[in-house]
Amino acid sequence: MFILGISCYYHDAGACILHDGIVESAAEQERFTRIKHDHRFPDAAIKFCLEHSNISVNDLDYVVFYEKPGIKINRILKTIYKHFPRSKDIFKEVFINWGKQKNWISKTIQSRLGIPKNKILFSEHHLSHAASSYYCSPYNDAAILTVDGVGEWVTTSMISAKGTNFLRHEEINFPHSIGLLYSTFTEFLGFEVNEGEFKVMGLAPYGVPKFKDKVYQHFLSITPDSFELDMDYFAYEWSLTTNMTRKFIDYWGTPRPKEEPFIISKYSNQLNISNNGISQRVVDKNQYYADVAASVQEVIEEVMLKFVNTLYNKTKTNNLCISGGVGYNSVANGRIIRDSKFDNVYILPAAGDSGASVGASLALYHSMHDRPVPQIVSSSYLGKNFSDNEIRQVLEKKNITYDWIEDEYELFKRIAYCLSKGKVIGWFQGRFEFGPRALGHRSILADPRNISMKHKVNSKIKFRESFRPFAPVCIYDHVNDYFEMNEDIINLYPFQFMLAVAKVKPEYTNLLQAVTHVDNSARLQIVKSDTNNKLYKLIKYFGDITGIYCLLNTSFNRRGEVIVNSPQDALITFEWSGIDILVMGNAIIQK
Amino acid sequence: MKTDMFINMAYYILYIFYSLKYNIIFFCNNHQVDLSKMESVEGFRKEQ
């Protein structure tokens, strides 16, 4: 049985193919169109998924959409009515967008794919999230927490699953949303909503959560299994342009101007920014914004932890699955792993809406079939692969000089040596990752030992904000050497998917300067030989030369760009950035 | 004034249209999906 899962029309459109309950391929539309967070109908991703499984549309048994549009429009219209006439801009947008496309999802799928109506089905947004995490996990029973901005109505749900049965214990409905609370502060701190949330997380360690109590007192009333926001502070119910009301701005002050450099005197050395010529007032203001970021981050962590512990008390299982966009908050995830009552935690690498395409298809499949043996999605390498021949053809067509090194030992040894000498490597191998993290198939790699590498990667390649940390990738055998992790949690999947932070041991913070954040945390990726043998070997050779079995790993793209998909994309990014060496398959290309 | 009238009219047209299309009485709290109904393919057929 083949099922095509689709998610689109909000952000991060994606598609996947499920073959007899196994995820064969999954990809975001943005990788093919090169438009960041592309939300349009994912024809390119669907085409790739069908080609990968070597099937045509006629072979599909079902196509399942990740949410129920009828319930979503119910929420939107009801909200417009509640706030009319100040919600009239939203109304115009709904009139145009829903009239054009969102209202005709079944018809769009029929016409784009040429598939009969009776094969088109609809899951529910948070069921899709829950299924994406649970059915890809190793567990046969689990508690599931889904948290995002909003689906149809639900923003947070607490579910327990046993076999193929789901039971919803609690749900919190729009407008009360942890995801939208975080997004509102993201906007206040001068970052793009649905894009800059990672940046708030990166900014938080520069501050002190001194306003945490204010957030609780004025913005959020919370019980062990629910919460409510004071909607006088939030405008997302009726405004298209901002999440903040006048009352929010009166309370927190002027929002941080977009793109303004982030300068804090205490950390100016680490940030490689001179604060000469910058007034003390600006420095103080930046410290204030960092304190706000720290406060809202702390609140999110505490709320998540509270919900997770409530869920444990309700379910008494040892296994937890997390999904939804807030599942990308690796700091909160790390805290849940350390401090919650659950022993095991699983999060799909694509925890957000693109991953819901996988969840919708899995939920549908398991409505018809039992789950005798759990399928484990143990890596995110579900995207497109390019063969050696394809890579060579691209290089030869463009007349690019390259060395093709057949002997992998030679290849890894040579690249490890270059890394140890401070070279920055573009690393392009195998199938691209599903989800926003580059986990060693479309990565930029560098020596993690020297802080200057962070500045080099930032200023010559990524061009991103200097306060944002880079992540380490470390081989499994040496994780305990550098990071404070006990045996109970070292095998948990969030650490393989770069979805949880760990503390760097004090004796290694200097040796891992380029990947250690100001609070000595690191968004760690553990690599095992059975999930990414090439990267594992490269790090091993690098460790044999330097004594450090870790590398700096960041996504293979420049600021604002989509992570590379094809060899052509990789060559363009290589050409226009300060990457020293590009490795594609066994080909080495030098500048 | 005329614009407001137009928007009001358009809103109610849209409201009636969606009510008919999705067979929803919009102002009832009928938005919760019963997960037990999603344990069969039939639960996936509806758009609402």
3-class secondary structure for A200-249? HHHHHHHCCCCCHHHHHHHHEEEECCEEEECHHHECCCCCCCCCECHHHH
Select the residue of B10, B14, B44 nearest A122 (Cβ to Cβ).
B44
Does A167 touch chain B if contact means CB atoms closer than 8 Å? yes
Q: What is the pTM of this model?
A: 0.94
Q: Which of B29, B32, B33 to mutate to test the interface with A (most CBs of A within 10 A)?
A: B33
pLDDT of residue B29: 54
Q: Which residues pair with A156 in a beta bridge?
A: A147, A172
Q: Give CA torsion, residues A590, A444, A569, A52, to 10 deg.
A: 120
Three-class SS state of A402: coil
Query: Got the DSSP string for A309-335?
Result: HHHHHHH--SEEEEESGGGG-HHHHHH
pLDDT of residue A500: 97
Backbone angles phi, psi at A486, to 5 degrees: -95, 170
What interface predicted TM-score (ipTM) does this complex get? 0.83
Cα of A369 to nearest chain B Cα, Å: 10
Backbone angles phi, psi at B34, to 5 degrees: -80, 115
C-beta separation of A380 from A439 below 8 A: yes
Q: Which residues pair with A158 in a beta bridge?
A: A145, A170
With the C-alpha atoms ordered A290, A229, A307, A348, is the resulting torsion angle positive or negative? negative
Residues of chain B contacting residue A71, judged by C-beta atoms under 8 Å apart: 31, 33, 48
Contacts for B16 with CB less than 8 Å, ≥ 6 apart: none
Do the Cβ atoms of B33 and A71 come within 8 Å?
Answer: yes
A34 burial (CB, 10 Å; 0-12 / 13-18 / 19+) is middle
How far is the CA of A166 from the CAs of A68, A129, A158, A159, in angstroms? 18, 12, 10, 7
- The radius of gyration of chain A's CA atoms, rounded to the nearest angstrom, is 23
Pairing mode, strands A14-19 and A2-7: antiparallel
C-beta separation of A7 from A30 below 8 A: no
pLDDT of residue A276: 59
C-beta separation of A537 from A416 below 8 A: no
Cis peptide before A257 (omega within 30 of 0): no
Nearest Cα to Cα of residue A128 among A419, A323, A294, A286: A323
C-beta separation of A376 from A321 below 8 A: no
The whole-angstrom separation of Cα B17 and Cα A64 is: 24
- Number of structural domains found in chain B: 1
Number of A:B CB contacts under 8 A? 95
With the C-alpha atoms ordered A359, A438, A463, A392, is the resulting torsion angle positive or negative? negative
pLDDT of residue A275: 58
pLDDT in tens, chain A (591 residues): 999 999 999 889 999 999 999 999 999 999 999 999 999 999 999 999 999 999 999 999 999 999 998 888 888 888 888 888 888 888 888 877 776 777 789 999 999 999 999 999 999 999 999 999 999 999 999 999 999 999 999 999 999 999 999 999 999 999 999 999 999 999 999 999 998 999 999 999 999 999 999 999 989 999 888 999 999 999 999 999 999 999 999 999 999 998 777 877 666 655 555 555 667 777 888 999 999 999 999 999 999 999 999 999 999 999 999 999 999 999 999 999 999 999 999 999 999 999 999 999 999 999 999 887 788 898 999 999 999 999 999 999 999 999 999 999 999 999 999 999 999 999 999 999 999 999 999 999 999 998 889 888 988 888 888 888 999 999 999 999 999 998 889 999 999 999 999 999 999 999 999 999 999 999 999 999 999 999 999 999 999 999 999 999 999 999 889 999 999 999 999 999 999 999 999 999 998
A490 burial (CB, 10 Å; 0-12 / 13-18 / 19+) is middle
The beta strand positions in A462-535, using DSSP E, are 471-475, 501-503, 521-523, 525-527
pLDDT-derived band at B37, boundaries 50, 70, 90: confident
Q: Which of A124, A127, A154, A171 to mutate to test the interface with B (most CBs of B within 10 A)?
A: A124
Pairing mode, strands A141-147 and A319-323: parallel
- State whether CATH 3.30.360.10 applies to domain A388-590: no
Residues of chain A contacting residue B32, judged by C-beta atoms under 8 Å apart: 153, 171
Long-range contacts of A480-486 (CB under 8 A, 24+ apart): A481/A505, A481/A508, A481/A549, A482/A508, A482/A511, A482/A512, A482/A548, A482/A550, A483/A522, A483/A524
Q: Which residues pair with A222 in a beta bridge?
A: A227
With tokens 């004796």, the residue in question is A507
C-beta separation of A442 from A428 below 8 A: yes
- List the structure tokens of A130: 């829950």
Does B9 touch chain A if contact means CB atoms closer than 8 Å? no
The whole-angstrom separation of Cα A156 and Cα A151 is: 9
Q: Which residues pair with A7 in a beta bridge?
A: A14
Domain residue spans of chain A: 2-133+350-368, 173-339, 388-590
Same CATH fold assignment for domains A2-133+350-368 and A173-339: yes
How far is the CA of A471 from the CAs of A208, A254, A380, A509, in angstroms? 22, 32, 17, 13
CATH number of A2-133+350-368: 3.30.420.40
C-beta separation of A47 from A77 below 8 A: no
Q: Which residues pair with A19 in a beta bridge?
A: A2, A22
Nearest Cα to Cα of residue A559 among A432, A460, A446: A460
The alpha helices in A115-226, defined as continuous H runs, are 125-134, 178-188, 197-203, 212-214
Nearest Cα to Cα of residue A254 among A209, A201, A216, A292: A292
Do the Cβ atoms of A78 and B27 come within 8 Å?
Answer: yes
What is the second-level CATH architecture of the domain A173-339? 2-Layer Sandwich (3.30)
Nearest Cα to Cα of residue A571 among A543, A549, A551, A591: A591
A591 burial (CB, 10 Å; 0-12 / 13-18 / 19+) is exposed
* Domain limits for position B35: 2-45
C-beta separation of A363 from A123 below 8 A: yes
With tokens 């700091």, the residue in question is A331
- Max CA pair span of chain A: 69
C-beta separation of A415 from A583 below 8 A: yes
The secondary structure of residue A530, as a DSSP letter, is T
How far is the CA of A333 from the CAs of A69, A347, A493, in angstroms? 30, 9, 11
Cα of B18 to nearest chain A Cα, Å: 8
Three-class SS state of A162: strand
Q: Which of A74, A105, A108 to mutate to test the interface with B (most CBs of B within 10 A)?
A: A74
Nearest Cα to Cα of residue B36 among A372, A181, A363, A564: A363
Nearest Cα to Cα of residue A21 among A51, A1, A46, A49: A1
C-beta separation of A390 from A575 below 8 A: no
